[in-house]
């Protein structure tokens, strides 16, 4: 996907990007490739692949919801090289984003990147998601929480739902549909105060690769004991 195809494809979904925003995506791509030679950020480095599989893919979160509201807060758990939150922030500058990542090298990259891109209302936290979710300053404070991770849904739910404010949403981005995973996570999601409301299938242009966005509404306050200590959600997932 070329930058022009990226811009035109998004316009079909009501997302119109100006020249300044397009310049920011271009700079993002350049810095991603440069830093990737020093620290492992992504296996995807070809320009057309980055625009499709990172930038466009990240923005699919905005296809089904309004991201333009002033003060909308989004927390990206385990963001890595900034996906999906930084592409979303470039397209929707009024949102406030918070990124949580356990590797300080990635946080350093994101700090230098967001400063160079001139992005405001970006908060970066070097922390394990389990510890962050137990921090009273952040717990149940975000409108939207997302994770574009390979962990199973019952693990992601324990890391993310404690951060979602009541009546907010957890949006899990998955590369493959798994009814088994949804069934497996049902009890965990309910225990953590959530309810699965929908699952959207998104097809990437050109490659027709499928992506799935699972929407989970926060209906009740999460019990204080969740998330459990660092490492436990992965070792002993809620079932």
Task: Give the range of the structural domain holding residue 190, as residue numbers without chain letter.
Answer: 3-235
Task: Report percent pLDDT > 70 for the chain.
Answer: 100
**CATH number of the domain that residue 205 is part of:** 3.40.50.150
**CA gap 144, 164 in Å, rounded:** 6
pLDDT digits (tens, 9 = 90+) for 90-104: 999 999 999 999 999
- Count of structural domains, the chain: 1
Residue 83 annotated as binding? Answer: yes
Kindly tell me if the per-residue pLDDT of 178 is higher than 80.
no
Q: Where on the phi/psi map is residue 6: left (φ > 0), alpha (ψ -120 to 50), or beta?
A: alpha
pTM metric for this prediction: 0.95
Residue 12 annotated as binding? Answer: no
Residue 148 annotated as binding? Answer: yes
Residue 6 annotated as binding? Answer: no
Q: Would you state the pLDDT for residue 200?
A: 87
Q: Which residue has the higher pLDDT, 210 or 28?
A: 28
Burial class (CB in 10 A: 0-12, 13-18, 19+), 103: middle
Distances (CA, A) of 44 to 47, 51, 197, 235: 9, 10, 32, 29
Helix H or strand E encompassing 110: helix 104-117
Residue 170 annotated as binding? Answer: no
Q: Would you state the pLDDT for residue 197?
A: 95
């Amino acid at each position: 996907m070329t930058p022009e195809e990226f811009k035109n494809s998004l316009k079909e979904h009501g997302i119109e990007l100006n020249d300044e925003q397009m310049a920011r995506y271009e700079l993002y791509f350049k810095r991603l490739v440069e830093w990737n030679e020093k620290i492992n950020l992504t296996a995807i480095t070809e320009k057309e692949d980055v625009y499709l599989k990172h930038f466009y893919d990240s923005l699919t979160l905005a296809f089904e919801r309004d991201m333009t509201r002033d003060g909308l807060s989004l927390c990206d758990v385990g963001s890595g090289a900034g996906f999906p939150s930084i592409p979303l922030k470039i397209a929707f500058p009024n949102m406030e984003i918070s990124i949580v990542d356990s590797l300080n090298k990635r946080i350093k990259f994101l700090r230098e990147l967001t400063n160079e891109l001139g992005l405001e209302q970006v908060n970066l936290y070097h922390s394990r998601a389990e510890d962050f979710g137990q921090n009273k300053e952040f717990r149940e404070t975000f409108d939207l929480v997302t994770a574009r991770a390979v962990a199973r849904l019952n693990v992601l739910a324990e890391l993310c739902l404690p951060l979602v404010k009541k009546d907010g949403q957890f949006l899990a981005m998955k590369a493959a549909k798994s009814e088994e995973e949804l069934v497996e996570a049902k009890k965990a999601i309910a225990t953590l105060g959530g309810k699965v409301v929908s699952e959207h299938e998104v097809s990437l242009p050109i490659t027709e690769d499928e992506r799935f966005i699972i929407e989970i509404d926060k209906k009740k306050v999460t019990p204080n004991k969740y998330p459990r200590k660092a490492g436990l959600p992965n070792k002993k997932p809620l079932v």
